[in-house]
Chain A
Amino acid sequence: MSAAGAIQVDDLRVERSADSTPIVHGVSFTLGAGEVLGIVGESGSGKSTLGLALLGFTKPGARVAGGSVRIGGRDIMSLPGDELRALRRTRLSYVPQDPGMSLNPALTVGRQLREVLPPGEGLQRIYDVLGEVGLPATDALLARKPGELSGGQQQRVGIAMAVIPRPELIVLDEPTTGLDVTTQLMVLDLVADLTREYGMTAVYISHDLGVIARVSDTVAVLKDGVIVEHGPATGVLRAPGEPYTRSLMDAVPSLHGESRTRRRPPEDATVLSVNGLAAGYGNTTVLRDVSLDVRRGECVAIVGESGSGKSTLSRTIIGLHGRDAGRVRLDGVDLAASVTRRSVAERRAMQYVFQNPYASLQPRRTVGESIELPLRQLGIATGAAARERVRAAVERVHLDPELLSRFPADLSGGQRQRVAIARSLVCDPRVLVCDEVTSALDVTVQAAVLDLLQELLAGGLSILFVTHNMAVVNEISHRVVVLRGGVIVEEGATDAVLRSPQHEYTRTLMSNTLDVDGQVGVR
């Protein structure tokens, strides 16, 4: 293993087999042994394809168009099949995004781990690595099938599988996306420890700048298949040279910075009032005695991890989920538990925006029809008057009116989310209930949507914003409610709560949120 330039990538190009559109467009860089390179990019940047190409692999439908990847001096692109396979067994490793899908459900964990054992080594090696990744080094574990493990455990198995052969290069493609914050932190630290201990060269791919900041020595920013900036992590992230990198950094929600929302204090009048709300599924109680108030022009954030009940809370408030106890009052008037029993005016006044922009729009309806639908359904307007309202709403969300005649399939995630917001705005609501509406979006798109929401707040709209991300809470909300296990553990003005969290859980949430500024230099 040569010391300098352990991995050398030269003008690597990957294109789509069908029409030769480039996915990776001439990427070059050099990695020293033991270096951790963080590749950051938004969706569609080609980062996953690049990661696979570093191992000489392309997904069906793509092919390598040129360039070389030299590992230890040898260009893996020019290796014959069985030599490449041998290299993959011994010196290259991959940790994929979704561990659940990458482990064979029909084979035991032990079988799959044994496949990567270096020649001459036996079970002891497996036990050792299991210990390192924090899994019990027992035969019982090896006899389990992947379906019997939790998500976090599956990911640990994935990492173990990558580390057992003592590879020279390990490529990790967003291995922590989808894991909750605590597990994510554990995995990141584990990866950092292991790369240090084994002297592995690592390439860590992610869209999350906080994660990249924590784990990388050097950072490469990928946009549309091209590296726009590359350098030491501190340099790129603290003082980005390129405008794209700067726009990415600007878009990242900051945990400690000032947010524009707080400069516009809300009015005094309470619009939405929730008292002693309880709800559950069958025999399990999910929400217990939850109370909160939302004033006019105010954004209240409901923050919690998965399983905290925050989605159930928002659905109960809007009336899509049954209520076991408690009251929900809009402008002083009690709302019925089920949305079907509420009056038209009440339904107009409170609107819901869903998390997944790909699932919340009817695929067979044009954008314009989707936005117009509530007007017809709630008897607000028809015909020309309706179309006028639709146009106004579309303007308010800064969406190109040309898109009105298109189908959702033709729109990006961010555009669809704007459509979802527009069809809520068209009813002139008082309260908007947003359920993790930016969690599925790229960071720049998320920033744009948050800006839009802030505009709406300034216009007098009240927002109930459900999220798991404390940094977003800081960006958008006036007040925050921390939910855990169906109970409110802390609440108050966002400023106050974030600056000096009272409850231990809130403190954990905050420390687990990877803020870029806070993470750079941790490694």
Chain B
Amino acid sequence: MSAPRAGRGRSVTWTWQLIVGVTAITMTCLLAFVGPFLAPHSTSEILGRPFGPPEPGALLGFDVLGRDVVSRLLSGGLSLVTMATIAASLGTIVGAFIGLVAASASPRVDAVIMRCLDLVLAFPTIVLALLFVAILGAHPALIVGIVALGHTPSVARIVRGAAGSIVSRDYVAWARSIGMRWSTIMTREVIPNIMSPLMVEFGLRLMWSVGSIAALSFLGYGIQPPAADWGLMVSENKSALSQQPLSVVAPILAIAVFTIGANLIAEGLARHVARTEGRSR
């Protein structure tokens, strides 16, 4: 009989994953949110010849239309990071809610919910987004909504599983025996115990949101030109990779740092969860 060892609010052990991950995310967020204010030039002004090499005023050279890559890099993260964060948060919250409902409902309702989630799960997120964007156009709200929708089934499954295992524990039975209502049991007993896996999920969702939205922009169905966006920059400047790689490498690295950071945070949290709460048998 193994005992779960989680105290309440135990401080997180700062593994290297968490440290590097948090640093990476912070740096990228700074770049995304503060960057636009630091851009030396406008993002749409043509300042040099297309794919021109780096020079003193434009340290990363010029892009396909002759715009300053540095300025576009600094301004290109805002919409991506904002949209990704909203999509991940929305997906996690809605998914968790659905998971809790499924765990508390009768078998019939639970089965129906799971089937509906299966339907969403049948589409790879990119394909689902492309389907809707093709007909309805590339509106940011639509993109955020679809990406969030794509997250809900996985989050719901995890929450349903975790909540289900908690609900069958003796201490929940005891709470029932002294007359605690289900809603109270959910908030007092279940939710605090699923927060950890949920946070891990959120980290992963953030990583995938950035991936999906950047990919959509890369395909041309996300943020539309002439706006500055990292995904868009990759597709715009791809054709001259051999002569001016910086215009592609810079946004690639920015996206990479963000997604790697999110993944590392999720990893670090997952290790922490595994260590403090023991392996459930």
A/B: CB atoms within 8 Å of each other: yes
Q: Which of A86-94, A242-250, A295-303, A356-364 contacts B (4 or more CB under 8 A)?
A: A356-364
A143 near B: Cβ within 8 Å? Answer: no
B195 to chain A: closest CB distance in Å? 10
Using known A-B contacts A409-B3, A409-B4, A409-B7, determine if residue A360 contacts B171 with beta carbons closer than 8 Å: yes
Cβ–Cβ contact A363 & B5, under 8 A: yes
Report Cα–Cα, A315/B97, bound state, in Å.
31
CB neighbors of B among A346-376 (8 A): 347, 351-352, 354, 356, 358-366, 373-374
Cβ–Cβ contact B192 & A358, under 8 A: no
A62 near B: Cβ within 8 Å? Answer: no
Residue of A356, A364, A427 touching B7 (CB-CB under 8 A) = A364
Count the A residues whose beta carbon is within 8 Å of the partner chain — how many? 30
Q: Mark A118-133, 1 if CB is under 8 A from B, else 0.
A: 0000000000000000
B104 to chain A: closest CB distance in Å? 14
B134 to chain A: closest CB distance in Å? 48
Report Cα–Cα, A229/B5, bound state, in Å.
35
A173 to chain B: closest CB distance in Å? 17
Report Cα–Cα, A11/B3, bound state, in Å.
33
Cβ–Cβ contact A362 & B189, under 8 A: yes
Report Cα–Cα, A308/B177, bound state, in Å.
23
Residue of B7, B177, B189 touching A347 (CB-CB under 8 A) = B177
A190 near B: Cβ within 8 Å? Answer: no
Report Cα–Cα, A480/B35, bound state, in Å.
79
Cβ–Cβ contact B179 & A347, under 8 A: yes
Cβ–Cβ contact B178 & A364, under 8 A: no
Using known A-B contacts A359-B169, A359-B170, A360-B170, determine if residue A320 contacts B4 with beta carbons closer than 8 Å: no
Q: Specify which chain B residues have a CB less than 8 angstroms from the CB of A427 in the assembled complex.
A: 178
Cβ–Cβ contact A408 & B192, under 8 A: no
Using known A-B contacts A359-B1, A440-B1, determine if residue A339 contacts B7 with beta carbons closer than 8 Å: no
Cβ–Cβ contact B6 & A364, under 8 A: yes
B66 to chain A: closest CB distance in Å? 59
A interface, by DSSP: helix, strand, loop or mixed? loop
Q: Specify which chain B residues have a CB less than 8 angstroms from the CB of A409 in the assembled complex.
A: 3-7
Residue of B7, B169, B179, B189 touching A340 (CB-CB under 8 A) = B179
Cβ–Cβ contact B179 & A377, under 8 A: yes
Chain A residue nearest to B192 in the complex (CB): A364
Q: Specify which chain B residues have a CB less than 8 angstroms from the CB of A407 in the assembled complex.
A: 7-8
Cβ–Cβ contact B179 & A358, under 8 A: no
Q: Specify which chain A residues have a CB less than 8 angstroms from the CB of B178 in the assembled complex.
A: 347, 373-374, 377-378, 427
A221 near B: Cβ within 8 Å? Answer: no
A111 near B: Cβ within 8 Å? Answer: no
B176 near A: Cβ within 8 Å? Answer: yes
Report Cα–Cα, A365/B179, bound state, in Å.
18
Chain A residue nearest to B184 in the complex (CB): A377
B19 to chain A: closest CB distance in Å? 24
Q: Mark B33-57, 1 if CB is under 8 A from A, else 0.
A: 0000000000000000000000000
Chain B residue nearest to A364 in the complex (CB): B8
Report Cα–Cα, A339/B178, bound state, in Å.
8
Q: Mark A468-506, 1 if CB is under 8 A from B, else 0.
A: 000000000000000000000000000000000000000
Cβ–Cβ contact A408 & B1, under 8 A: no
Report Cα–Cα, A366/B6, bound state, in Å.
11
Q: Mark B158-174, 1 if CB is under 8 A from A, else 0.
A: 00000000000111011
A342 near B: Cβ within 8 Å? Answer: yes
A175 near B: Cβ within 8 Å? Answer: no
Cβ–Cβ contact B179 & A378, under 8 A: yes
Cβ–Cβ contact B170 & A356, under 8 A: yes
A53 near B: Cβ within 8 Å? Answer: no
B interface, by DSSP: helix, strand, loop or mixed? loop
Chain B residue nearest to A353 in the complex (CB): B174
Report Cα–Cα, A260/B160, bound state, in Å.
49
Chain A residue nearest to B189 in the complex (CB): A362
A79 near B: Cβ within 8 Å? Answer: no
Cβ–Cβ contact B179 & A339, under 8 A: yes
Cβ–Cβ contact A363 & B6, under 8 A: yes
B193 to chain A: closest CB distance in Å? 7
Q: Specify which chain B residues have a CB less than 8 angstroms from the CB of A361 in the assembled complex.
A: 171
Report Cα–Cα, A373/B171, bound state, in Å.
12
Q: Specify which chain A residues have a CB less than 8 angstroms from the CB of B1 in the assembled complex.
A: 356, 358-359, 440
B106 near A: Cβ within 8 Å? Answer: no
A38 near B: Cβ within 8 Å? Answer: no
B187 to chain A: closest CB distance in Å? 13
Q: Specify which chain A residues have a CB less than 8 angstroms from the CB of B2 in the assembled complex.
A: 358
Q: Mark B177-193, 1 if CB is under 8 A from A, else 0.
A: 11110000000010011
Q: Specify which chain A residues have a CB less than 8 angstroms from the CB of B189 in the assembled complex.
A: 362
B280 to chain A: closest CB distance in Å? 11
A318 near B: Cβ within 8 Å? Answer: yes
Using known A-B contacts A358-B1, A378-B179, determine if residue A352 contacts B6 with beta carbons closer than 8 Å: no
Report Cα–Cα, A342/B179, bound state, in Å.
8
Residue of A318, A356, A363 touching B4 (CB-CB under 8 A) = A363
Using known A-B contacts A344-B179, A377-B179, A378-B179, determine if residue A354 contacts B5 with beta carbons closer than 8 Å: no
Chain A residue nearest to B182 in the complex (CB): A340
Report Cα–Cα, A351/B171, bound state, in Å.
13
Report Cα–Cα, A374/B176, bound state, in Å.
11
Report Cα–Cα, A365/B8, bound state, in Å.
7
Chain A residue nearest to B172 in the complex (CB): A362
A319 near B: Cβ within 8 Å? Answer: yes
A308 to chain B: closest CB distance in Å? 20
Best-buried of B2, B7, B189 by chain A (most CB within 10 Å): B7
Chain A residue nearest to B7 in the complex (CB): A407
Cβ–Cβ contact A320 & B177, under 8 A: yes
Residue of A344, A352, A373, A408 touching B3 (CB-CB under 8 A) = A408
Cβ–Cβ contact B177 & A339, under 8 A: yes
Chain B residue nearest to A347 in the complex (CB): B179
Q: Specify which chain A residues have a CB less than 8 angstroms from the CB of B7 in the assembled complex.
A: 363-364, 407, 409
- A-B CB proximity, top 5 nearest: A360-B170, A359-B170, A409-B5, A363-B4, A358-B1
Hey, which bits of chain A sit against chain B, CB under 8 A?
318-320, 339-340, 342, 344, 347, 351-352, 354, 356, 358-366, 373-374, 377-378, 407-409, 427, 440
Query: A344-B179, A356-B170, A377-B175 known; 9 other A-B pairs, CB under 8 Å?
Result: A339-B176, A340-B176, A351-B177, A360-B171, A373-B178, A374-B178, A408-B3, A409-B3, A427-B178
Sample (12) of A-B pairs whose CB atoms are under 8 Å apart: A318-B177, A320-B176, A320-B177, A339-B179, A344-B179, A358-B2, A359-B170, A364-B193, A365-B8, A407-B8, A408-B3, A409-B3
